[in-house]
């Protein structure tokens, strides 16, 4: 008889300054869509997606935070709850790159070393407006001791590789899976402070 194992669930929190493309990266990953109109995230958004990997299936719970200052106080509790922090900057906005130091510090304060951090340089399609080179991004990630990748949500560049990279780094089910706490029941989160939520089953990523 086949053994049914609980689906390993992992919480990912997306951090970074306003307008760097956090929501766009998630939207590209979830729906393979991109919208040029900027719609600032209000509070926190929640989405979830099942990823079918070669050797296992994982459920990713994505917390999309707002970059706007007025929502900053909401963020620490989501960092505390997450096993992965995706820190995004805009390669055409040097200040957003410099501010990643604050985000890394915030994640370290909440989670210490018990967390996977990925530094993401987004908007690589803005070739003529680039202010941060890939070498600088890479060097910074080494300085922080975190993973690094460049993406373009607009061009759909490196989005799947980003999530594959994260999935590959996820700890084994025994160690960190929140499924352990939640048993085998799939939980729909109902309340997230000011959050607006939409749960998506996610059709199965061909990753």
Q: How far is Cα 149 from Cα 121, in angstroms, rounded to an integer?
A: 6
Query: Between 13 and 32, how does the x/- string for binding to Mg ion read (CB under 5 A)?
Result: ---------xx---------
- Rule CB under 6 A: say whether 99 interacts with ligand GTP: no
Q: Which is nearest to 200 in space by CA: 48, 60, 12, 51?
A: 48
What residue ranges in the chain does DSSP mark as E strands? 8-15, 44-52, 57-65, 84-90, 116-122, 147-150, 196-197
Query: Shortest distance, CB of residue 100 to ligand GTP, whole angstroms?
Result: 13
Stretch that binds Mg ion, among 39-47, 113-121, 126-134, 163-171 (CB under 5 A): 39-47
Residue matched to tokens 């018990």:
114
Please tell me the distance from the alpha carbon of residue 107 to that of residue 117, in angstroms, as a whole number.
Answer: 8
Selected binder of ligand GTP within 8, 13, 15, 20 (CB under 6 A):
20
Q: How far is the CB of 86 from Mg ion (least distance, A)?
A: 12
User: Positive or negative, the Cα torsion across 21, 46, 164, 17?
Assistant: positive
Stretch 23-62: interaction string toward ligand GTP, x if CB under 6 A = xx----------xx-x-xx---------------------
Q: Which residue is nearest to ligand GTP (CB)?
A: 67
Residue 56 interacts with which of ligand GTP, Mg ion, none, CB < 5 to 8 Å by class: none
- All residues at 6 or more sequence positions from 20 whose CB lies less than 8 Å from its CB, including other chains: 67, 88, 89, 90, 93, 96, 122, 123
Write down the least CB distance from residue 159 to ligand GTP, Å. Answer: 9
User: Do 91 and 126 form a contact (C-beta atoms < 8 A)?
Assistant: yes
* Residues 61-90 within binding reach of ligand GTP (CB under 6 A): 66-68
How many residues line the site for ligand GTP (CB under 6 A)? 23
Contact 151, 137 (CB under 8 A): no
From candidates 153, 162, 167, 195, binder to ligand GTP by CB under 6 A: 153
Which residues form the interface with Mg ion (CB under 5 A)? 22-23, 41
Q: Which residues bind ligand GTP (CB under 6 A)?
A: 16, 18-24, 35-36, 38, 40-41, 66-68, 122-123, 125-126, 152-154
């Amino acid at each position: 008889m086949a053994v049914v194992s609980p689906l390993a669930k992992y919480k990912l929190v997306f951090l970074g300054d306003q307008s760097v493309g956090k929501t766009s990266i998630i939207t590209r990953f979830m729906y393979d869509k991109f919208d040029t109109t900027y719609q600032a995230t209000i509070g926190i958004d929640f989405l979830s997606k099942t990823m079918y990997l070669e050797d296992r299936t994982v459920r990713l719970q994505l917390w999309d935070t707002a970059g706007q200052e007025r929502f900053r106080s909401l963020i620490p509790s989501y960092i505390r709850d997450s096993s992965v922090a995706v820190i995004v900057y805009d390669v055409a906005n040097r200040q957003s790159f410099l501010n990643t130091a604050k985000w890394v510090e915030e994640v370290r304060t909440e989670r210490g070393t018990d967390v996977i951090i990925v530094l993401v340089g987004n908007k690589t399609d803005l070739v003529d407006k680039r202010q941060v080179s890939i070498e600088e991004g890479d060097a910074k990630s080494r300085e922080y001791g975190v993973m690094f990748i460049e993406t373009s949500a607009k061009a759909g560049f490196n989005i799947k590789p980003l999530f594959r990279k994260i999935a590959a780094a996820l700890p084994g089910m025994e160690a960190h899976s929140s499924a352990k706490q939640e048993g085998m029941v799939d939980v729909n989160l109902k309340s997230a402070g000011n959050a607006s939520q939409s749960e998506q089953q996610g059709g199965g990523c061909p990753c």
